[in-house]
Amino acid sequence: MSSPVSSDADVRSSTSRVSDANSLRVAGVDEHRRGTMRSMVTLVGEPPDHSSSGGSSTNASRRCPLDPGHPKSDHLDLGLPRVSAAERWLARRMLQTLGNPPVRMVLWNREEIPAFGPPPVARVLIHDRAALWKLLFNPALHFGEAYSTGRIELEGDLLEFLETVYRAKSAVRKPAGLLRKAIRRWRRRTRSNTLRGSRANIHHHYDIGNDFYKLWLDDQLVYTCAYFPTPQATLEQAQVAKMELVCRKLWLRPGETVVEAGCGWGALGLHMAREYGVKVKAFNISHEQIAYARQRARQEGLSSQVEFIEDDYRAVSGRFDVFVSVGMLEHVGTDHYRELGRVIDGCLSPSGRGMIHSIGQNEPGELSPWIRRRIFPGAYPPTLREMTKVLEPWGFSVLDVENLRLHYAETLRHWLRRFDAAADTVAKMFDGRFVRIWRLYLAGSVAAFATGALQLFQLVFARPGVNEIPWTRARLYHGPPSPGG
């Protein structure tokens, strides 16, 4: 039941006593194995499948009434396979391990595992025995898998449920031991982002069609954290404000040269060229994004100032005044941080400076295996200490660090609202399962940033000894920056 963007190490403890109850499990499963599938199909029906059409069914999975008289939980159905004592105990134990969130489990025979404390914010409906056992053994992976196929459904608000689980889990969080740390290091090595692997990973997420992203991103397709100067700012205004904030932090000046590693659909590169008169080379390995960015540059008459290059960051060459990377470090992998640092060191001029903008976390921990499987293969959000490992070997000075965590939570709320409004269209473009996968990803991301499980770091750096830098941070918010003041 871990929300999808959480660290899977935190939730694996929910299965720490599963092996102790294996003998009970065998007895319970064997007792009811015969006739289970026939009973489930006859009395409950197949797991819900919303893939044939669109939004009416998929929207229902986001919010359902919490009615104490709901027919699914008002009595046990004795015609369904019974729940064994082991399964009942393990379900309770999993809720305890998660910090006893105010959430009720409803099992396939309509038996409820009650919540403790405040009234429940949601009911989690588990439609079959196999879904429960998979959830017990690896909740970080199998909650998302079962939710997306309809084998697990939710009565209540998805976002409120996920935030509740995050907050309850953080209250019982324990420091990782040596074994867990070793396992994390090993997993990161086995998913190294080589040149070939990086292309496959980026293609999986970013090349699924520009028309899909146009449904719920802003009008410039900026797929990174926005900056809300006021709570009333629109998403479009906030994304422009973010790009302006990046430019001010880099104190760009006309005629300078900028290299951008991981440029998305090109909005930042075009903004820097148009508003600050710099020349930009922007690198990206997503074919669809590069094609779109080049078309925009031609339409806006900026092709002579911005060159969009379909290649990996490791192919960067030449000398530049400024290096900037917004939203790429998450896809690099810690094994390649020294390699990225070497690229930055090799391309920056003696007076060069730069920025790395990245999703992060407070302590090392793996991204959820469900997110890595379904959304971001090979992704890893670094800690702030890990981010500095890109820079330390090359002697760069860190000048400024800012955490925009709450701005990303707000950005994601805008994305989720727009995605939900377009759910019918998305279901027609793909299917209902795709809608549920992406809704869970977006809602889980809101929850992660809102509760502090994930961070958003902007780190500004420069060559050592560079003194032509703003004296204070005031001009970041009150006017164009100028060197030395």
Output the domain CATH number for residue 233. Answer: 3.40.50.150
Residue 325 maps to a domain? yes
pLDDT of residue 299: 98
Q: Is residue 44 packed enough to be buried (19+ CB in 10 Å), middle (13-18) or exposed (0-12)?
A: middle
Predicted confidence (pLDDT) at residue 168 exceeds the cutoff of 50: yes
Instruction: State the residue for tokens 């305890």.
Output: 96
Assign 76 a pLDDT band (cuts: 50, 70, 90): low
pLDDT of residue 339: 96
Q: Do the Cβ atoms of 159 and 125 come closer than 8 Å?
A: no
Percent of the chain with pLDDT over 90: 66
Structure tokens of 97?
Answer: 């391990």
User: How far is residue 190's CA from residue 283's CA, in Å, rounded to a whole number?
Assistant: 26
Reported as a single tens digit per residue, the pLDDT across 86-124 is 999 999 999 998 899 999 999 999 999 987 788 999 999
Residues 203 and 328 reside in one and the same domain: yes
Residue 276 maps to a domain? yes
Q: Is residue 60 packed enough to be buried (19+ CB in 10 Å), middle (13-18) or exposed (0-12)?
A: middle
Starting at the edge strand found earlier in the chain, the sheet holding 152-156 runs: 112-113, 103-106, 122-126, 152-156
What is the value of pTM for the model shown? 0.80
> How many separate domains does the chain show?
2
For range 377-389, the mean pLDDT = 94
Structure tokens of 265?
Answer: 């659909």
Q: Do the Cβ atoms of 262 and 284 come closer than 8 Å?
A: yes
Assign 367 a pLDDT band (cuts: 50, 70, 90): confident
Residues 123 and 229 reside in one and the same domain: no
Residues 98 and 241 reside in one and the same domain: no
Last residue of a domain, one of 156, 171, 186: 171
Whole-number average pLDDT of the chain: 82
Helix (H) or strand (E) holding 97: helix 85-97
The sign of the dihedral angle between the CA atoms of 195, 198, 200, 206 is: negative
Residues 154 and 243 reside in one and the same domain: no
Task: Round the CA-based radius of gyration of the chain to a whole number and report it.
Answer: 24
Reported as a single tens digit per residue, the pLDDT across 319-329 is 999 999 999 99
Reported as a single tens digit per residue, the pLDDT across 427-456 is 999 999 999 999 999 999 999 999 999 999
pLDDT of residue 71: 37
Residues 160 and 230 reside in one and the same domain: no
Residues 135 and 209 reside in one and the same domain: no
Residues 270 and 128 reside in one and the same domain: no
pLDDT of residue 53: 39
Reported as a single tens digit per residue, the pLDDT across 148-163 is 999 999 999 999 999 9
Residues 322 and 391 reside in one and the same domain: yes
User: How far is residue 268's CA from residue 272's CA, in Å, rounded to a whole number?
Assistant: 6
175-379-249 Cα angle (round to 5):
90
User: How far is residue 65's CA from residue 118's CA, in Å, rounded to a whole number?
Assistant: 17
Q: Do the Cβ atoms of 380 and 364 come closer than 8 Å?
A: no
Q: Do the Cβ atoms of 260 and 268 come closer than 8 Å?
A: yes
Residue 177 maps to a domain? no
Residues 473 and 334 reside in one and the same domain: yes
Assign 51 a pLDDT band (cuts: 50, 70, 90): very low
The sign of the dihedral angle between the CA atoms of 9, 10, 14, 19 is: positive
Residues 296 and 384 reside in one and the same domain: yes
Which range of 51-55, 194-198, 333-337, 381-385 scores highest in mean pLDDT? It is 381-385
Assign 28 a pLDDT band (cuts: 50, 70, 90): very low
Percent of the chain with pLDDT over 70: 75
Residue 159 maps to a domain? yes
Domain coverage including residue 127: 8-171
Residue 322 maps to a domain? yes
Query: For residue 293, which amino acid is it?
Result: A
Angle between helix 85-97 and helix 22-33 axes, rounded to 10 deg: 130
Long-range pairs for 285-290: beta carbons < 8 A, 24 or more residues apart: 285/198, 285/199, 285/202, 285/310, 285/311, 285/312, 286/202, 286/203, 286/206, 286/207, 287/203, 287/207, 288/206, 288/207, 288/209, 288/210, 289/206, 289/207, 289/210, 289/263, 289/264, 289/265, 290/263, 290/266
For range 303-329, the mean pLDDT = 97
Residue 167 maps to a domain? yes
Residue 403 maps to a domain? yes
Query: For residue 366, which amino acid is it?
Result: E
Residue 459 maps to a domain? yes
For range 226-251, the mean pLDDT = 97
CA distances from 261 to 313, 387, 458 (A): 6, 15, 15
Residues 260 and 164 reside in one and the same domain: no
More confident of the two residues 182 and 11: 182
Residues 216 and 115 reside in one and the same domain: no
